[in-house]
Structure 1
Amino acid sequence: MDRRSYIKSGAGVIAGGLIAGCTGSDSESESTATADSSAGTDTPTDTVSDTETATAESVVPSNVVIGSDIPYRPFEYETTSGELTGFDVDIAQAVFEDQLGVNYEFKPTSFDSIIPSLNNGNFRIIMSAMTINDTRDEKVDFSDPYFTAYQTIIVRADSSISSRGDLEGTVVGVQKGTTGANAAEELQSDFDGNIELNRYDQIPAAFQALKNGQVSAVINDNTVNAEFASQEDNIEFIEGEGAAVEAGQDAPPYLTLTVENYGIAFREDDSEFLERVDEALATIKNNGTYDEIYSEYFSG
């Protein structure tokens, strides 16, 4: 049974919808589960057993509600048919369904309010391409890192901007509450305030502003910028060495303003669940599942 679901908001109503593949009614699913358990089928050695999950119900819930800023392609976004997909979505399936044996669902949430929403109990965890940093770590606890990203700058190919310094005196688009916004604020400080920042609720609005000429550049995560640039003939990265080279990393072929790691965010009183998720993350990294998912969305 596909254990995924996606809470979609529309016309002021929250409606639950299965993403894909659920067959039969709940009673049929329960009957199938009973039959499977009585048949004595082998449990994979790298998967938490049903018994373990049942005895740890207070630690691992039967249904994990995940707060996420959607869309943020290629991490979480809808296909043309309305199915939720993306790197984070597939990692969630590998961790929660395949390893912990529980249901999970994504709940769209504005990124700039996502941590308060977590701590108010609106969902159990955050999976939203969220960078681990000291400011956030004061409010939530993070899983082990599961992805490395860089803040980067994209511009229109027909613009005169070709370096970091060329941004002085321009208007730059960012998403509210993100480390991209933080990186832009640092540039603004470096240029004695001579950069205007336009802050958007979601990154697609910043991208649209760049296309329309309302901003001269967008600062955002490299893979998300790359996804957008791959779909547009007139969008390109500012090139040059930067933070990744300084950190001795295998740097991408464009300017990097920061080196960051993504983590899954938990409330600070949820340490036992965090430990179980860290164990599941370690398993999918060791058994090749993580690499398979990564290769579906990214090259190199």
Structure 2
Amino acid sequence: MKNKLFLIMLTMIIALLAACGTKDDAKEDAGSGSTPSEELPVLVMGTSADYPPFEFIDPTKSEEIIGFDIDLSNLIAEKLGYKIEVENIDFNGLIPAIQAGKLDFVLAGMSPTEERDEVVDFSIPYNETVQMVVTKKDSGIKTVEDLAGKTVGVQISSVQEELANELAETVDMKVESRNLIPEVIQELMTKRFDAAVIEDVVAENYTQRNKDLTYFPIVVEEIDTKAAVFPEGSELKEKFDKAINELIEEGKIDELREKWFVVEAE
């Protein structure tokens, strides 16, 4: 009887010790703070969150940056096995930030140009766009030629700034730049600017929300495109090119266009 009682007690002690060991192991695992998502490498993305619907903040909902480019970056990251950390930087500071090694890439509705291509690399295009002249409906401006003698606003360091300066070589107009698109729109609404050069989908967003505004296209020889931006020689370019091609073939980018580019009047 004593031997049997001893064996029962020994079995209970071993079971108790095993249970304690399991709890300790569980605590250690929980304390490590590691999950599959947290183990993914992080890419720092630069953007300028003043450019709806590509990237912007809707303060009525949250302080989170949302938009077409944000969703696109997450789709690419999912394909390539990364997490994205977004840095909000003024548009004219994005390329300097890449050159300084502060960013892994940029998605900011940025168009490849010869000048930019000298200092950074671009992915294949993920969108095409048309440039618009935005005016107040009562401005009397209906053609590019009507801009003669007028003040035209643009975002600094943008392709629109470059285009407006090219137009100013043949049309006697004054070009003024502002850091952010909302600043350009504000100057237009208060009539400090007579017009502004803004790309189509962005222009549509603003005109739908400001019934005093209208726009018309600028005819150019080369189609304007949007692309991701990388430091020169970055290995990410080839990976992004492949991911963007796959997203185009899968119809995912068309789905993003339907989500973000269809603007409903308020």
- With the length of structure 1 as denominator, give the TM-score of the two structures: 0.72
Q: 1:290 aligns with which of 253, 256, 261?
A: 253
Contact preservation (8 Å) 2:42, 2:84: yes
Contact preservation (8 Å) 1:139, 1:268: yes
Q: How big is the shift at 1:242?
A: 2.2
Identity of aligned pairs, percent?
A: 26
Aligned pair 1:232/2:215, yes or no? no
Cα pair distance change 1:136/1:27, threshold 3 Å: farther
Matches of residues 47-58 of structure 1 in structure 2 within 5 Å? none
Question: How many correspondences in the alignment?
Answer: 231
Aligned to 2:55: 76
Cα pair distance change 1:155/1:124, threshold 3 Å: same
Contact preservation (8 Å) 1:75, 1:87: yes
Aligned to 2:195: 217
Q: How big is the shift at 1:216?
A: 0.3
Contact preservation (8 Å) 1:184, 1:219: yes
Cα pair distance change 1:263/1:189, threshold 3 Å: same
Give unpaired runs (5+ residues) of structure 1.
1-25, 35-53, 55-60, 248-257
Secondary structure of the equivalent of 1:121? Answer: coil
Query: What are the Cα deviations for residues 278-299 of structure 1, in whole angstroms up to 9, with x where unaligned?
Result: 1111111112222211110124
Cα pair distance change 1:28/1:226, threshold 3 Å: farther
Which whole-Å CA distance do the structure 2 matches of 1:66 and 1:157 have between them? 38
Contact preservation (8 Å) 1:87, 1:293: yes
Q: How big is the shift at 1:108?
A: 1.1
Secondary structure of the equivalent of 1:30? Answer: coil
Aligned to 2:72: 91
Cα pair distance change 1:157/1:129, threshold 3 Å: same
Aligned to 2:173: 195
Which whole-Å CA distance do the structure 1 matches of 2:74 and 2:167 have between them? 38
Q: Which amino acid aligns with 2:43?
A: V
Aligned pair 1:278/2:241, yes or no? yes
Contact preservation (8 Å) 1:152, 1:221: yes
Q: Which amino acid aligns with 1:218?
A: A
Cα pair distance change 1:288/1:206, threshold 3 Å: same
Which whole-Å CA distance do the structure 2 matches of 1:184 and 1:149 have between them? 16
Contact preservation (8 Å) 2:53, 2:261: no
Matches of residues 1-300 of structure 1 in structure 2 within 5 Å? 30-31=34-35, 33=36, 62-79=41-58, 80=60, 81-96=62-77, 98-191=78-171, 194-238=172-216, 242-243=219-220, 259-270=223-234, 272-299=235-262
Give unpaired runs (5+ residues) of structure 2.
1-29
Contact preservation (8 Å) 1:151, 1:259: no
Secondary structure of the equivalent of 1:66? Answer: strand
Q: Which amino acid aligns with 2:100?
A: N
- With the length of structure 2 as denominator, give the TM-score of the two structures: 0.81
Secondary structure of the equivalent of 2:86? Answer: strand
Which whole-Å CA distance do the structure 2 matches of 1:142 and 1:116 have between them? 15
Answer with 1 or 2: which has the greater Rg.
Answer: 2
Contact preservation (8 Å) 2:120, 2:229: yes
Contact preservation (8 Å) 1:127, 1:264: yes
Cα pair distance change 1:261/1:29, threshold 3 Å: farther
Secondary structure of the equivalent of 2:51? Answer: coil
